[in-house]
Structure 1
Amino acid sequence: MKRFAIAPALILAAAAASAETATFDPIIVESTFEGSANQTPGAARSIDEDILVERRPYSLHDALEQIPGLRTLDDDAMGRRSGIGVRGAPPRRSRKVLLLEDGVPINAAPYLDSSGHYTPPTQRLERVDALKGAGHVIYGPINNYGIINFRNKQPTETPVTTVELGSGNLNTSSRHVMHQRTDGAVGTVLSYTSFAGDGIFDIERTRYDDYFGSIDWALTEQQSIGLSATFARERSNYDESNLTPQEFAAAPYRKKNRFAQENNTIAPDYYKLDLTHQWQSNSWQISSRVFASRLFRPRFTVDPDEAEVSALPDVVLTDPEYRFVPGESGVMVSRTREYENLGAESRFVLDLGAQRLSWGVQLHRSLFDDKRSFGEPGEVLDANNRGNFRGENDLAAARLTKYQSSAVSAYVLDRIDLGNWSITPGLRAERYEVKKDERFRGNDPGSGLERDEQTIVLPSLAVLYRGIENTQIFANVARGYTPAFARTADSFPLDPEIGINTQLGFRTVRPSGLYVDAAVFYSRIEDTVVQLPFTIDDDNLRVNAADSDSYGIDLGMGYETQPLWRGISGFADLGASYTRARFTDGLVDGNRVPGVSEHAGTLTLGLRAGDRWHASLTASHLGDYFSDLLNTRDFVLADEDREPVSQDDEIEIREVVVLGRVASRTVLSARSGFTTSLGGTDVEFWVAGRNLTDRLYVNDLENGIRPGPRRSVLFGLTAQLQ
């Protein structure tokens, strides 16, 4: 069977075949596709398990960059603080992309602060689905640009235990154990994944442990329930304060002894529970779920105050009292964010033959506490010592702001089949309330309670044509939106970002082994939400900059030859995209939207001999982008008012402001694997590497210059025990 690096959406239709009691495609609660995937009237792409295993991505970002239209930025070397953008969405913290795991939102707080601080490890995923410019009706909020769903592996009919071990340079090590089985009517999955390695800078090191378990129980032929639980824990030496241009030119990967940043750590813990129930008959389907999650994300940083510009690249603090020496002087600050989410939803489908009517309702509530506390002089703060909210030390100001949101949403879709045509009108409505209560800020009372309410109506119309064999042509227009980021928003009331999104495309699989998927798109965005590339008083700045539009094309192609010699076949995969995102009014009229690259793409060439051996090489390209609204070109060290600083000035060295254009880059990655049988067990020996030429490039300008990950090579083995 032909395999493509980016599997066409058609491959998901096979999941429907296992439901014997239904005469139509059943709801798959873990999936983002309504009905079988070949009925999706929009750009829908998947990376399947075979490719995740074969490509051996170092991080989830390395896997996702294969999908045309997706752009990723590494903040940490392992992509734990995810940076995923779709088409005209800036990738920073995935704030404009709805992230789902088995259909459950995993953005930190979708209506308050949609930052991505957790994504599942690739080793326990059976597929990654991407909806681009589609899915606005079924899924929300954050549905302007795209929706990414990570689907976990499912129980197997016979017991299978997978063991994977890896080791490489940069002190990298990985471990993964998974057991899948079905006993009668009960299916079980248990998984543990651990990954550790050095980060991008000399003081950084990341370690995470991920635990996952699920149980699926078929109560009857028509009814089933499922329960899954996740716990992910990270303990990393990591800091967001990056380099000035002078420091980057002198030593681009060095932070040690800068201002005692080697004491800075981050310690997130993530918990998630998901309970589902499904029932179906010949014409009806009902699926319901209840889910809850908690993200505890403390970060501990030295607070060095100001430094002299004239001394750079050496960091010389203007006040020696701020120099942090453990047990003696200086202050560390604890920045703790606690997110809690609770949701419930029900989805209904009535199949009437030539008409398929779907509707659903969802309730969602988030609680979010943004806390800051501090230590005594010389006190080291970490996951076991988070400091105090109040104290006599005035070198750092404590604060507490509490946020909450409540949302109710409902949707209806009506797919009408007319021969080879399907026409699907739809409507989604959301009503949500956001509250912000700043309790105190230092020794001063906070600003008190602020409140905002929004009602959003999102109509949609999609058309799908299936009159050509193995080909679908689709077109849709839909309204989408992204809630304003309540944390550090410009002001209350909050203005959501509203978009009108259109696209036209097709996908086809030819008997010759060729696969093509292409779409042109245009989006009109009102009140574009933009995060500025610096902080003021330790707060990120997110503003409604101006209206904008984006248009472009996504192109994916795959080809696999017939066996060329001794069963060895060749394959090639191309994913390319062009996105032009520019403001259309105000002082920034005509400027490019910050964070959005116009060009991006990957090209993979490889050989494989069935399931015994494979090798491939990938070139990944990301075009240039601007960090600020004014599209500053050269790197400029600036103050908090975005004015260039002089040699006589002082700067907040922990919150460096660097404006400029991030240059384009192309990096190489490769992998190879050989599978053999040892004692009746299939064992694959593999090697994978990224940034093989060890290219130095600037990855981001968030709080200063941050380079991209260095060359990494990982060797390992994977065994499947049955």
Structure 2
Amino acid sequence: MKRLFVLPLIVFGYTLQAQQLKDTFPVLELDPVTIIGSRANLIPGAGQYIGSKTLAKMNQPNINNVLRTIPGVNIRDEEGFGLRPNIGLRGTPVNRSAKITLMEDGVLIAPAPYADPAAYYFPTFLRMQGVEVLKGSSQIKYGPYTVGGAVNLISTDIPTSFKGFAQLSVGSFGTNQQRVWVGDSQQNFDYVFEVNRMASNGFKQLDNGGNTGFERRDLMAKLRWHTNSTAKIQQSLMMKIVSLSENGNESYLGLTYEDYKANPLRRYAATQKDLLDMKHNHISLLHTVRPTKNIIIHTTAYYSNTFRDWGRVNTIGGQSINNILGNPTQFANPYQIMTGQANGSIDFQSAARTYISNGIQSNAQFSYANGEVKHKWQIGVRVHADQADRYATRSNYAMTNGTMILNNVGVKGNQENQIRNAQAIASYINYDIEYKGLKISPGVRYERIEFDFQNFGNNDNGRLGAGLRSATNTMSIVLPGIGFNYAFKNGSDLFAGIHKGFSPPGMPSVNSTSQAKVETAINYELGYRYDQNGLHIQAAAFLNDYENILGSDNMSAGGLGTGDQFNAGNATIKGIELSAAYNFLEMKNTNLKLPVQIAYTYTNASFRETFRNGGGDWGSGIITKGDLIPFITPHLFTASVGFETSKFNTLLVARYVGATRTRPGQGTLIVPDNNVTYNNVNALKGFLIVDLSANYQFTKILTAFSTINNLTNNNAVVANLPNGYRPNMPIGFTLGLKANF
């Protein structure tokens, strides 16, 4: 690797609260990993936090099912287990979660968040004790993607005294999971070690048999040193290590509608060699110091390396997959090869990519008060570098009596051979002034990014540079914003904000006539919160007024896979978010609880000018002013009802995803049907999924749990991307045990 990567520093506006680990020695653990935590009702913007108690009741290893309980979150399912979520916030594109800021414990987690942000790696959700979603003007501190918002995953924390946890479960489709962690806090040294494994045979049914599941192994360790309670300056140093490996028998290829109706769980014979091989390693050092009573500084140095090679069928019988899916009658012979009924040629493409992301991030917070006026300054900086080294290699197989036999091994890089580099400096300053119930929070963020794109061409396996085409681009931007929050004495508050949102433009094009500009939007928000007597309500209206919205070309979204971004001009995304929760037995003198919760999102997203689309996720051709932006679901609704006693709890969750347009346009929605060709479909039907979970505590140590996912066994088309129709997981059962010791 010829590029020099510097270790960086980003700033995070954490509220840092000293934590008493034992009566004899206080330790400086100041919540450096959370964005909002329990302070969701205090920020000048819409934020939600789901903690460990709620996650324990849900028993959901699939983050998609958890995030759908939060308004403003749009998700497209893919493989059914939530291993690679497609998440959008407030109308941002969902594909590979590439347009939101993804973090674990306050550190960017996408494999290359600037150079190649598609999140093919996503942390194992089983080892998370909480998840936070931040939207609105208070996200100035959490870039680089600040149009929609940020998602922060909170990993298992170091316990305050010796503690351990073990979980074991088995379920449908050969799915099984094991999790163990143990930790302790001593006078100067604390630790937690965690091991996770999850595996499944998969719920899809491969022609002629075969495994369609996965196996994922995940290790995490946190080691922390801290000063004695008598030290004049309190400080701590924590090292965190994560190592993950995954083998997934997953495919990009879905089904024709006729085959979906016959068996929605079918997988074609041509996908029998499809395999995802992924490895991820991460290390970080977090230093926390309180030089004075009113100043706290967090500094994190981090490094991660991610390798992913996703091999999959590319063309069949000389025809593209989309041609075959669009007209299986016209391309009858390639279709029969795809299903293993005829012999023929299959081109198979592996996409090996190595990502490096590293940096140093630091935040200083200074708080003081003048009488009734409280002040808090937060200043941060991040120096970051990341790289994506991409090889795509096409080989040839012969489908012979339903079995794929390797004919010709392609030369490495014969389809893609490039390096993408990005270096960035980000900084911000945020000021909170609070008087009685009013808080005003102005702030400004600055981003400076250098992109370097090197395309060696498909014939230069050794990267000697004979056909090298390269391009560079440097951009900088200032992003101001301000938020307001007024807290009434009755437990309610109003919040509002305006800020300039931003997304990086991606790699520069070697064709200087088609450069992508930065994506910017002026974002407005107005909301109301109420939290009193067990009733929690949050309502928000938002408007994202794009000065330039970017489209992209990703194979995972039905494009060619170049990763290029292109300008789409003005666009408007607006909507309403509503969430409410209430325990109907809150006022009763009883141990019984009957919690009810709802979350609703309405989103309207449209292009505001006519332009010729450059291809990729939105297709090609003319997009007309007023056309709706695809893959943004207008209506999302989740409702849950629970019943709890001192030893038992159960939770029923219903998730409704409304009809979703899959192509830009206006007017009538055309959904998959018997007499509708694949290429004429412009939308997917809405669907409802119901999940049920229960926990029973036998002793203080041992708890049994069970889940039923998709209780009504609803067969819904959840996506028609990347290629063909894809099903949701059918009804599935899980039984397990948890032990706290």
Q: Please list, as runs of the form range in 1=range in 2, the aligned pairs for 1:44-63 lying within 5 A after superposition.
A: 44-63=47-66
Distance, in Å, in 2 between the alignment partners of 1:645 and 1:541 is 31
Contact kept? 1:658, 1:704, Cα under 8 Å: no
Q: Could you give the per-residue CA deviations for residues 23-51 of structure 1, whole angstroms, max 9, x where no partner exists?
A: 9x996321124995554211111000000
The residue type equivalent to 1:421 in the other structure is L
* Helix, strand or coil at the partner of 1:137: helix
Q: Could you give the per-residue CA deviations for residues 348-384 of structure 1, whole angstroms, max 9, x where no partner exists?
A: 122232221211111110111111124465699xxxx
Task: Give the aligned partner of residue 376 of structure 2.
Answer: 356
The residue type equivalent to 2:252 in the other structure is E
**Do residues 217 (structure 1) and 239 (structure 2) align?**
no
Distance, in Å, in 2 between the alignment partners of 1:35 and 1:113 is 33
Q: 1:605 to 1:330 in 2, by over 3 A?
A: closer
Q: 1:663 to 1:318 in 2, by over 3 A?
A: closer
Distance, in Å, in 2 between the alignment partners of 1:145 and 1:28 is 24
The residue type equivalent to 1:283 in the other structure is N
Task: Give the aligned partner of residue 530 of structure 1.
Answer: 551
Contact kept? 1:372, 1:389, Cα under 8 Å: no
Q: Report the CA distance between 1:333 and its aligned residue.
A: 2.2
The residue type equivalent to 2:701 in the other structure is D
Q: 1:454 to 1:669 in 2, by over 3 A?
A: same
**Do residues 686 (structure 1) and 708 (structure 2) align?**
no
Mean CA deviation greater in 194-203 or 441-450: 441-450
Task: Give the aligned partner of residue 641 of structure 1.
Answer: none
Task: Give the aligned partner of residue 300 of structure 1.
Answer: 311
Q: Report the CA distance between 1:215 and its aligned residue.
A: 1.4
Task: Give the aligned partner of residue 442 of structure 2.
Answer: 425
Q: Could you give the per-residue CA deviations for residues 137-178 of structure 1, whole angstroms, max 9, x where no partner exists?
A: 211111111101001121112211111111111111111111
Q: Please list, as runs of the form range in 1=range in 2, the aligned pairs for 1:466-545 lying within 5 A after superposition.
A: 466-486=487-507, 493-511=515-533, 513-531=534-552, 535=558, 539=562, 542-545=565-568
Partner of residue 166 from structure 1, selected from 161, 166, 169? 169
Q: Could you give the per-residue CA deviations for residues 175-219 of structure 1, whole angstroms, max 9, x where no partner exists?
A: 111112112222211111111124453232122111111112212
Q: Please list, as runs of the form range in 1=range in 2, the aligned pairs for 1:204-243 lying within 5 A after superposition.
A: 204-221=212-229, 222-243=234-255
Q: Please list, as runs of the form range in 1=range in 2, the aligned pairs for 1:316-715 lying within 5 A after superposition.
A: 316-317=333-334, 330-353=346-369, 354-375=374-395, 390=411, 397-442=414-459, 448-486=469-507, 493-511=515-533, 513-531=534-552, 535=558, 539=562, 542-562=565-585, 567-586=591-610, 587-610=623-646, 612-630=647-665, 633-634=669-670, 659-677=681-699, 682-702=701-721, 703-715=723-735
The residue type equivalent to 2:505 in the other structure is A
Which segments of 5 or more consecutive residues in structure 2 lack a partner in the other structure?
A: 1-13, 207-211, 401-405, 611-622
Task: Give the aligned partner of residue 267 of structure 2.
Answer: 255
Distance, in Å, in 1 between the alignment partners of 2:418 and 2:638 is 43
Q: Report the CA distance between 1:420 and its aligned residue.
A: 2.0
Distance, in Å, in 2 between the alignment partners of 1:321 and 1:59 is 31
Partner of residue 87 from structure 1, selected from 90, 96, 111? 90
Q: 1:357 to 1:536 in 2, by over 3 A?
A: closer
Q: 1:182 to 1:347 in 2, by over 3 A?
A: same
* Helix, strand or coil at the partner of 1:110: coil
Mean CA deviation greater in 546-555 or 561-570: 561-570
Q: Report the CA distance between 1:132 and its aligned residue.
A: 1.1
Contact kept? 2:159, 2:185, Cα under 8 Å: yes
The residue type equivalent to 2:389 in the other structure is D
Distance, in Å, in 2 between the alignment partners of 1:715 and 1:488 is 51
TM-score normalised by L of structure 1: 0.86
Distance, in Å, in 2 between the alignment partners of 1:600 and 1:609 is 30
Q: 1:167 to 1:321 in 2, by over 3 A?
A: closer
* Helix, strand or coil at the partner of 1:523: strand
TM-score normalised by L of structure 2: 0.84
Q: 1:538 to 1:657 in 2, by over 3 A?
A: farther
Distance, in Å, in 2 between the alignment partners of 1:665 and 1:516 is 26
Distance, in Å, in 2 between the alignment partners of 1:248 and 1:447 is 44
Q: 1:627 to 1:310 in 2, by over 3 A?
A: closer
Task: Give the aligned partner of residue 193 of structure 1.
Answer: 196
Mean CA deviation greater in 549-558 or 328-337: 328-337
Distance, in Å, in 2 between the alignment partners of 1:536 and 1:78 is 23
The residue type equivalent to 2:239 in the other structure is L
* Helix, strand or coil at the partner of 1:268: strand
* Helix, strand or coil at the partner of 1:61: helix
Contact kept? 1:470, 1:509, Cα under 8 Å: yes
* Helix, strand or coil at the partner of 1:235: strand
Mean CA deviation greater in 114-123 or 301-310: 301-310
Q: Could you give the per-residue CA deviations for residues 477-516 of structure 1, whole angstroms, max 9, x where no partner exists?
A: 11111112439999753212101111111222212x2111
Report the count of equivalent residues.
676
Distance, in Å, in 2 between the alignment partners of 1:57 and 1:490 is 46
Q: Report the CA distance between 1:108 and its aligned residue.
A: 2.4
Distance, in Å, in 2 between the alignment partners of 1:661 and 1:91 is 16
Contact kept? 1:200, 1:707, Cα under 8 Å: no
Distance, in Å, in 2 between the alignment partners of 1:471 and 1:495 is 41
Q: 1:78 to 1:476 in 2, by over 3 A?
A: same
Task: Give the aligned partner of residue 652 of structure 1.
Answer: none
Once the two structures are aligned, what percentage of the paired residues are identical?
Answer: 22
Task: Give the aligned partner of residue 615 of structure 2.
Answer: none
The residue type equivalent to 1:157 in the other structure is T
Distance, in Å, in 2 between the alignment partners of 1:490 and 1:601 is 44
The residue type equivalent to 1:237 in the other structure is N
* Helix, strand or coil at the partner of 2:691: strand
Distance, in Å, in 2 between the alignment partners of 1:256 and 1:628 is 26
Contact kept? 2:508, 2:515, Cα under 8 Å: no
**Do residues 123 (structure 1) and 126 (structure 2) align?**
yes
Q: Please list, as runs of the form range in 1=range in 2, the aligned pairs for 1:73-152 lying within 5 A after superposition.
A: 73-152=76-155
Q: Report the CA distance between 1:320 and its aligned residue.
A: 7.9
Q: 1:320 to 1:71 in 2, by over 3 A?
A: closer
Q: Could you give the per-residue CA deviations for residues 430-454 of structure 1, whole angstroms, max 9, x where no partner exists?
A: 1101121110125797560011221
Q: Please list, as runs of the form range in 1=range in 2, the aligned pairs for 1:10-21 lying within 5 A after superposition.
A: 18=20
Q: Report the CA distance between 1:338 and its aligned residue.
A: 1.3
The residue type equivalent to 1:241 in the other structure is L
Distance, in Å, in 1 between the alignment partners of 2:460 and 2:335 is 24
**Do residues 269 (structure 1) and 293 (structure 2) align?**
no
* Helix, strand or coil at the partner of 1:267: strand
Q: Report the CA distance between 1:97 and its aligned residue.
A: 1.2
Q: 1:500 to 1:465 in 2, by over 3 A?
A: same
Q: Could you give the per-residue CA deviations for residues 406-446 of structure 1, whole angstroms, max 9, x where no partner exists?
A: 11111111112223211111111111011211101257975
**Do residues 284 (structure 1) and 295 (structure 2) align?**
yes
Distance, in Å, in 2 between the alignment partners of 1:435 and 1:246 is 46
Q: Report the CA distance between 1:332 and its aligned residue.
A: 3.0
Distance, in Å, in 1 between the alignment partners of 2:196 and 2:508 is 32
The residue type equivalent to 2:367 in the other structure is D
Mean CA deviation greater in 557-566 or 105-114: 557-566
Distance, in Å, in 2 between the alignment partners of 1:322 and 1:438 is 36
Q: 1:629 to 1:684 in 2, by over 3 A?
A: same
